[in-house]
Amino acid sequence: MEPDDLTKEQAKEVCTVIERHQLYLLRLRTRMEECDFHPNDQLHLRVCKAFDAVMELRMAFHYLACDGAGRKSKPPSGGADQAAEKSPDESSIPARERMRRVAE
């Protein structure tokens, strides 16, 4: 499975879930700063790093949910080339079904 296998709706759902976690980390970081955590404190730095990583992840899903942004352009022929790329040992569960389960 590749990112382009996701529908825009699936990408939006995942983005929404990730956004909640990002907002939690923002509140945590803000609270730590209000409680005078030292800017170089290891815990504070890890929260900042986690926030940045979640932001980057959310933006990746956001771009997948947009028209044209974040997606590879697909070759016009499609059919035979795409079937050849799939390995025979892939799970029998369709990729979209697996992502739907992750998003729930």
pLDDT per residue over 55-90, tens digit each? 999 999 999 998 766 666 665 555 545 544 554 444
> For residues 103 and 17, what is the distance between their CA atoms, to the nearest angstrom?
8
Asked whether residue 75 is domain-assigned, the answer is: no
Asked whether residue 76 is domain-assigned, the answer is: no
Give the global pTM. Answer: 0.64
> For residues 1 and 95, what is the distance between their CA atoms, to the nearest angstrom?
6
**pLDDT exceeds 90 at position 96:** no
Asked whether residue 87 is domain-assigned, the answer is: no
- Each residue of 32-53: pLDDT tens digit? 999 999 989 999 999 999 999 9
Which pair of structure tokens corresponds to residue 66? 């947009």
**Structural domain span for residue 7:** 3-66+94-103
Confidence band, pLDDT 50/70/90 cuts, at residue 97 = low
Asked whether residue 12 is domain-assigned, the answer is: yes
Total number of domains in the chain:
1
